[in-house]
């Protein structure tokens, strides 16, 4: 009988794979699972890329002979360190810090820091691996890394956050640098944390350099960086819709999350005429049937800035309903934007979205849809924009922040937003170039993003020889 799953994992062998593609996929995945036990998110992220890239590599055998895929699935290096700090009760606390420097083939390691109690090494390996292809798609010279800690910022005082960030950076500082590795924010790491981290790096090194992005505007940050991931995600969805002669104007949009990405995805969707009806956090979701307004969104931004729960929204605006412990995917919509976390939209929720008439999905979060959920979207041939493409706007503007820091100048809001717009368009074009089925208007954005992202990095690796 044919092998359909990879040993000791939930990874499925793509049912359409035959012969060489099947053998190579199985060999690579068996290796990944065996060498990286207990890291299911990393296995999932690798499998999602191999689905597209294995057939491509089998057709372009120079990559296979040079073992580019075997090299790409192994991070350049992984750093794990202890972070000790003192809480407000003068008790010593110990957390674990990570930085996975995945690939610097096309530029300095680049990617965010996540502070969340659920993380482990496998989380950062999945995120760092995704970042390789995403950063390549941006058209800018950035390699890939990711890091963070199992520190839980929820309920911590400002002083505790500061002490944690300073201790974390005291160790991380020796591994990063403006031409080496440039971290930024992600879940649990926003403007406040980046500022503490940057301040400590500057103190330790006595150097004012663009070693982090997402900095405050007063000390080297770029305009539009805060908005970039959410805005970029909506631009990408707009591009996908325009490709099939549609528009986001007038569409009903369901969004998960209420953090940085969700807030600005909601803002741009509304600016482009869409009706955004949900936001959520890890406790539940709010449904605003008539749609959010800018004023209501400002309330959410202020609420989340002070660490509030999304539930508090309904006390202020009784027009909305709060659904405790649920995710928003049961609400009928035209467009779904998962903007919270990985694996937050599963097969049955994907089926429900399609049944309710959803025509486009744009991933603001990284890997938010399960493999079975992705299969539902691809089988239904709706416009499904994977995170590597759809949420690349954030890291793209980080790269522009690095450029501005190197030039020691500061671009205007218009200049940066225009560039974001054209970068998202270019990412869309790359997906169309590598994901179209000849003779049909359908674009498989998963294949497009994976293959276009892979090619550039693979060609750089080929040029360097065996490293």
Residues involved in catalysis: 146
Beta carbon of residue 111, minimum distance to ligand 2IT (angstroms, whole number): 5
131 belongs to the binding site for ligand NDP (CB under 6 A): no
Q: Look-up: residue for tokens 């790491």?
A: 189
Please state, in angstroms and rounded to a whole number, the distance separating the CA atoms of residues 302 and 401: 25
260 belongs to the binding site for ligand NDP (CB under 6 A): yes
Are 223 and 217 spatial neighbours (Cβ–Cβ below 8 Å)?
yes
Beta carbon of residue 366, minimum distance to ligand NDP (angstroms, whole number): 4
DSSP lists the bridge partners of residue 114 as 148
Residue 340 binds what, of ligand 2IT, ligand NDP, none (CB under 5 to 8 Å, by partner type)? ligand NDP
Q: Look-up: residue for tokens 């794979």?
A: 17
370 belongs to the binding site for ligand NDP (CB under 6 A): no
Please state, in angstroms and rounded to a whole number, the distance separating the CA atoms of residues 87 and 85: 7
- Counting residues that bind ligand NDP (by CB under 6 A) gives 25
| Residue 18 CB-density burial (10 A; 0-12 exposed, 13-18 middle, 19+ buried) | exposed
Number of residues that this document lists for the chain = 467
Q: Which of 372, 434, 358, 454 is nearest to 136 (CA)?
A: 454
Q: Which of 233, 423, 428, 426 is nearest to 338 (CA)?
A: 233
Site string for ligand 2IT, 171-210 (x = CB under 6 A): -------------x-x------------------------
341 belongs to the binding site for ligand NDP (CB under 6 A): yes
Q: Which of 210, 190, 168 is nearest to 112 (CA)?
A: 190
Residue 243 binds what, of ligand 2IT, ligand NDP, none (CB under 5 to 8 Å, by partner type)? none
C-beta of 112 vs 221, nearer to ligand 2IT = 112
Tokens describing residue 61: 């055998």
Site string for ligand NDP, 218-237 (x = CB under 6 A): -----------x--------
Write down the number of H helices and E strands in the chain.
17, 12
C-beta of 55 vs 188, nearer to ligand NDP = 188
449 belongs to the binding site for ligand 2IT (CB under 6 A): no
For ligand 2IT, the binding residues in 369-428 under the rule CB under 6 A are 394-395, 398
367 belongs to the binding site for ligand 2IT (CB under 6 A): no
Beta carbon of residue 181, minimum distance to ligand 2IT (angstroms, whole number): 10
List C-alpha distances in Å: 431 to 43, 224, 369, 428. 23, 24, 19, 5
Are 257 and 188 spatial neighbours (Cβ–Cβ below 8 Å)?
no
- Residue nearest ligand NDP by beta-carbon distance: 259
Q: Report the b/e string of 102-128 with b at 16+ CB within 10 A.
A: bbbbbbbbbbbbbbbeebebbbbbbbb
Neighbour count for residue 401 (Cβ, 10 Å): 27
C-beta of 186 vs 334, nearer to ligand 2IT = 186
Q: Which of 159, 324, 185, 346 is nearest to 259 (CA)?
A: 185
Beta carbon of residue 398, minimum distance to ligand 2IT (angstroms, whole number): 3
Residue 339 binds what, of ligand 2IT, ligand NDP, none (CB under 5 to 8 Å, by partner type)? ligand NDP
- Select from 97, 371, 394, 435 the one that contacts ligand NDP (CB under 6 A): 394
186 belongs to the binding site for ligand NDP (CB under 6 A): yes
Residue 143 binds what, of ligand NDP, ligand 2IT, none (CB under 5 to 8 Å, by partner type)? none
Please state, in angstroms and rounded to a whole number, the distance separating the CA atoms of residues 381 and 383: 7
Residue 111 binds what, of ligand 2IT, ligand NDP, none (CB under 5 to 8 Å, by partner type)? ligand 2IT
C-beta of 200 vs 366, nearer to ligand NDP = 366
For ligand 2IT, the binding residues in 99-138 under the rule CB under 6 A are 110-112
Q: For the residues of 374-441, what is the DSSP string, one character each? A: HHHHHHHT-EEE-HHHHTTHHHHHHHHHHHHHHHT----HHHHHHHHHHHHHHHHHHHHHHHBPTTSS
Beta carbon of residue 406, minimum distance to ligand NDP (angstroms, whole number): 21
C-beta of 55 vs 373, nearer to ligand NDP = 373
Residues at the site binding ligand 2IT, with contacts judged by CB under 6 A: 110-112, 184, 186, 213, 366, 394-395, 398
Binding-site ranges for ligand NDP (CB under 6 A): 118, 185-188, 190, 229, 257-262, 281-283, 339-341, 344, 364-366, 391, 394
């Amino acid at each position: 009988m044919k092998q359909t799953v990879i040993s000791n994992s939930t990874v499925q062998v793509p049912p359409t794979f035959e012969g060489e593609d099947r053998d190579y996929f199985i060999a690579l995945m068996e290796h990944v699972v065996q060498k990286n036990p207990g890291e299911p998110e990393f296995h999932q992220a690798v499998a999602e890329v191999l689905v597209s890239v294995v057939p491509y590599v089998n057709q372009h055998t120079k990559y296979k002979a040079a073992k580019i895929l075997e090299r790409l699935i192994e991070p350049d290096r992984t750093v794990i360190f202890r972070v000790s700090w003192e809480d407000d009760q003068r008790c010593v606390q110990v957390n674990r810090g990570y930085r996975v420097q995945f690939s610097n083939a096309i530029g300095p390691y680049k990617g965010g820091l996540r502070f969340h109690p659920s993380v482990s090494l496998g989380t950062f390996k999945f995120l760092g691996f995704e970042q390789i292809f995403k950063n390549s798609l941006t058209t800018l010279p950035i390699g890939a890394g990711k890091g963070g800690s199992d520190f839980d910022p929820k309920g911590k005082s400002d002083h505790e956050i500061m002490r944690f960030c300073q201790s974390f950076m005291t160790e991380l500082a020796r591994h990063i640098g403006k031409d080496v590795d440039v971290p930024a924010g992600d879940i649990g790491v926003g403007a406040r944390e980046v500022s503490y981290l940057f301040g400590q790096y500057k103190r330790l090194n006595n150097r004012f350099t663009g070693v982090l992005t997402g900095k405050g505007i007063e000390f080297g940050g770029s305009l539009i960086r805060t908005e970039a991931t959410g805005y970029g995600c909506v631009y990408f969805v707009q591009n996908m819709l325009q490709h099939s002669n549609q528009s986001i104007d007038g569409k009903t949009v369901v969004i998960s999350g209420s953090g940085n990405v969700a807030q600005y995805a909601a803002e741009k969707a509304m600016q482009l005429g869409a009706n955004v009806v949900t936001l959520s956090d890890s406790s539940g979701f709010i449904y605003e049937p008539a749609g959010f307004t800018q004023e209501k969104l400002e309330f959410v931004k202020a609420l989340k800035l002070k660490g509030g729960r999304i539930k508090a929204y309904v006390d202020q605006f009784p027009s909305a309903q709060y659904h405790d412990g649920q995710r928003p995917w049961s609400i009928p919509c035209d467009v779904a934007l998962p903007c919270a976390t990985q694996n937050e939209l599963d097969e049955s929720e994907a089926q429900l979205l399609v049944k309710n008439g959803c025509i486009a999905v744009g991933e603001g979060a990284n890997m938010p849809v399960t493999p079975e959920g992705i299969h539902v979207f691809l089988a239904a041939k709706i416009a499904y924009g994977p995170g590597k493409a759809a949420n690349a706007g954030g890291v793209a503007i980080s790269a522009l922040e690095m450029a501005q820091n190197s030039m020691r100048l500061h671009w205007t809001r218009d200049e940066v937003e225009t560039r974001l717009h054209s970068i998202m368009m270019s990412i869309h074009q790359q997906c169309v170039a590598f994901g179209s089925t000849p003779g049909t208007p359908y674009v498989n954005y998963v294949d497009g993003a994976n293959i276009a992202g892979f090619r550039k990095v693979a060609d750089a690796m080929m040029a360097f020889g065996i490293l």
